[in-house]
Amino acid sequence: MSTTSPAPRPAVEEVAARAAAVAPVLAATAPAQLAAGLRAAAAALRADADRLVATAAEETGLAPAPRLRGELERTAVQLEMFSQVALDGSHLDARIDEADPGFRPVPRPDLRRMLVPLGPVLVFAASNFPFAFSVAGGDTAAALAAGCPVVVKAHPGHPRLSAAVTEVVRAALEGAGLPRDALQLAGLPGAEGPDDDGVAAGVALLRDERIAAASFTGSQRAGRHLADVAASRRRPIPFYGELGSTNPVVVTPGALAATTAEAFATAYATSATGSAGQLCTQPGFVLVPAGALDADGGELLAALERAFSAVPEHRLLHPGIAAGYAARREAVLASAGVDVVVAGGVRDSDDGGSGQVWTTPTLVRTTLDALLAAGPELREEAFGPLSVLVEHPGVDAVAAAVPHLYEGELTAGLHVTPEEAQTAPVAALVAALSRVAGRVLFNGWPTGVSVTPAMQHGGPYPATTDAGRTTSVGTAAVTRFLRPVTFQDAPQAVLPPALRDDDPWGVPRTVSRAGESAGWGAVQG
């Protein structure tokens, strides 16, 4: 495989200027053509899958199959899903209020409202999903569907893949009749010398007045810094940052009795250690009934030891993640009230120069009281294959503890029987979890985020910077890159196509007819 370095990036100024130039073109592009471009991008990625997957595996250490091939397919599906969003047009939320001289308390003018594209969007690529949250990932697909050009800040963990995917998608967009500069790449490491990590380019673009919004998936430290940059601009812009999550899973006595120790342990270990635990929905804390681990001669504890110990060594994505994981692991192991179940480990590569770090899973146990008494050294996310078993005295105690343990999570899970689900303590627990998590799932594990319209991938801060009001997965993600505008008594010739009487785009519209207000609120039929 070629080891040629990616081509040098264009200057930040040039990238921003190109994005600004193409923004009005995309904003005026018909939904059907936007959809065609997204479908073409999906087809092009599938057609070049062998090369792209091989490059991704080499740069990230993630398994080619099923991990990376599955992720590439997910990325293609995301593009197709947002092509349907663009084609349908309902995301534009077009509303027309006909002029109504009889409207109370004063006559109503002709009002026409819709959501319009914000403009150039800066997407900071993530390390752990080199396809699905990178150059052609969900943020890019949503922004293009909204009619916004995209500039992707390349992640240093997979620069050659980023360059390759960019060229594949740009060619596909151009072939479908969209501007090639609808997608651009910036911030490739080494573009301005051997010490250039590309960070400066990303920050410079975020400060550029032509960038209208930004999205980010990564660490809380980096995300907070970028959010502050976006907020400190002369004209602050929306910044949608996903900053991580511990994804607690609560298990009831009935749910544990309804399965086998081996089945529970296998499913738990698979979720906690897949891709070396480098997933934003990795279950960092699993709360099990007190006494369950040691019951029946320690059957469950032994099954968990076997399941976690059987997971082979896996390479971490890059040195920055490795350093952060090693520090968090040491802090957890040193926390009061923590006992080791499976020690696991972290080691540097034997080649002495690659900077690669390898790890095996770590599993520890503690109690709910100890977790409540602990500080951030135990409670914070460990981005890697580490999980904490927490013994709880009952779901009522967990419900009471949730506000003290969790501020914002991407997910929260509950393993419960149908009979237990009808009880007041479980209802109280579900209510508590729903206040701190964007997705509450039952009798499953949080890893594996379905690419589907109703998915919510975002939660209250610190899971995301916007208090969980939006999502980065699912069709609702498109709304992040739109804003409302109302046109009052506007001539037909100057209205956007979606609001004109002849409706050339054919998008869904809500129309309030003259005279309808007299019957508002009346029961029909």
In this predicted structure, what is the pLDDT of residue 354? 76
**Does residue 450 sit within a domain?**
no
79 shares its domain with 117? yes
Our answer to whether residue 80 is catalytic in this structure is no
pLDDT for 334 equals 97
- Domain assignment present for residue 456? The answer is no
**Is there a domain that residue 465 lies in?**
no
pTM: 0.94
Per-residue pLDDT of the chain (525 residues), as tens digits, is 444 444 444 589 999 999 999 999 999 999 999 999 999 999 999 999 999 999 999 999 999 999 999 999 999 999 999 999 999 999 999 999 999 999 989 999 999 999 999 999 999 999 999 999 999 999 999 999 999 999 999 999 999 999 999 999 999 999 999 999 999 999 998 766 656 668 899 999 999 999 999 999 999 999 999 999 999 999 999 999 999 999 999 999 999 999 999 999 999 999 999 999 999 999 999 999 999 999 999 999 999 999 999 999 999 998 999 999 999 999 999 999 999 999 999 999 877 667 899 999 999 999 999 999 998 889 999 999 999 999 999 999 999 999 999 999 999 999 999 999 999 999 999 999 999 999 999 999 999 999 999 999 999 999 999 999 999 999 999 999 999 999 999 999 999 999 999 999 999 999 999 998 888 888 665
The reply to whether 236 and 255 lie within a common domain is no
**CA distances, 48 to each of 64, 181, 238, 350 (Å):** 14, 21, 34, 33
What's the CATH number where 308 sits?
3.40.309.10
Question: Residue 45: helix, strand or coil by DSSP?
Answer: helix
Same domain? For 218 and 259 the reply is no
CA distances to 29, 79, 259 from 303, rounded to whole Å, are 57, 41, 13
Same domain, 160 and 308: no
**Within 10 A of 106 (CB to CB), how many other CB atoms are there?**
7
Q: What's the token pair of residue 111?
A: 């009002």
Q: Burial, 490: exposed, middle or buried (Cβ in 10 Å; 0-12, 13-18, 19+)?
A: middle
Residues 227 and 255 in one domain: no
Position 274 in a domain: yes
- In terms of domains, do 271 and 233 share one? no
Cα separation, 37 vs 242, in Å, equals 27
Number of structural domains the chain divides into: 2
| Same structural domain, 367 and 409 | yes
329 domain residue, yes or no: yes
Instruction: Give the per-residue pLDDT at 349.
Output: 84
- Residue 433: domain span: 249-442
Residue of 73, 242, 381, 391 with catalytic role: 242
Which string of b and e fits 57-92 if b means at least 16 CB within 10 Å?
Answer: bebbbbeeeebbbebbbbbbebbbbbbebbbbbebb
Whole-angstrom CA distances from 76 to 41, 43, 79, 124, 400 are 8, 7, 5, 19, 42
Q: Are residues 48 and 165 in the same domain?
A: yes
Active-site hit among 280, 381, 391, 420: 280
Instruction: Say if 489 falls within a structural domain.
Output: no
Same domain, 223 and 276: no
Active site residue 148: no
Residue 428 lies in a domain: yes
* Distance between CA atoms of residues 281 and 383, nearest Å: 10
69, 53 contact by CB (below 8 A)? yes
pLDDT at 515: 92
Within a domain: 457: no
Does residue 168 sit in the same domain as residue 54?
Answer: yes
